Amino acid sequence: MKFFRSSDRREQHVNAPRGQGFTLIEVVVGLVLMASVLVSSLLAYSSHQRQRAFANAKREAVIIADQILQQLSVRRAGMSAGDQGLIADKPNWFWRTSLVGTTAPAGVPMRVIQFQIAKQNPDGTVTALTSVELVERI
């Protein structure tokens, strides 16, 4: 049985009831978790935006390819391999044709020409946006 009240503050602190708040470590862990969720969400959003922009560029390249192929197909000489040109209103976009090969099925001489729309990236690399292989009678 204790008749005297303790005047030692350490003993009062140890025996004091614990508050209802969070400890510092709990707050730090919570902040770290929230920060990691925020960073991963921003990275996912950024990746989504890049993929969406690339898909839109590919869709637009298909439309442009259709228009250019219509113009090239009405030429009397047909389409020649090794042609190239810039695309209006699209900086760093260009089109080009290249000979893939020749063949003669059933004795009919034919050649395969690849038509491609690509863009030149700021780092100098080239990214193909769309490509079509055309078969022409020689």
Q: List, for residues 23-38, the tens digit of each pLDDT value.
A: 999 999 999 999 999 9
**Residue that wins the pLDDT comparison between 80 and 56:** 56
Looking at residue 81, what is its pLDDT?
81
Distance separating alpha carbons of residues 70 and 107, to the nearest angstrom: 28
Percent of the chain with pLDDT over 90: 56
pTM over 0.85: no
Q: What would be the CATH architecture of the domain defined by 21-137? A: 2-Layer Sandwich (3.30)
Q: List, for residues 115-130, the tens digit of each pLDDT value.
A: 999 999 999 999 999 9
Looking at residue 82, what is its pLDDT?
85
**Residue that wins the pLDDT comparison between 84 and 5:** 84
Distance in Å from the first CA to the final CA of the chain: 114
Looking at residue 2, what is its pLDDT?
56
Helices (H) and strands (E) counted in the chain, each on its own, are: 2, 4
Q: Is 107 helix (H, G, I), strand (E, B) or coil?
A: helix
Looking at residue 74, what is its pLDDT?
82
Rounded to a whole number of angstroms, the CA Rg of the chain reads 35
Of 103, 111, 116, 100, nearest in space to 78 by CA:
111
- Listed by start position, the domains of the chain span 21-137
Convert 21-68 into a string of H (helix), E (strand) and C (coil): CCCHHHHHHHHHHHHHHHHHHHHHHHHHHHHHHHHHHHHHHHHHHHHH
Contacts of 90 (CB under 8 A, 6+ apart): 64, 119
Looking at residue 26, what is its pLDDT?
93
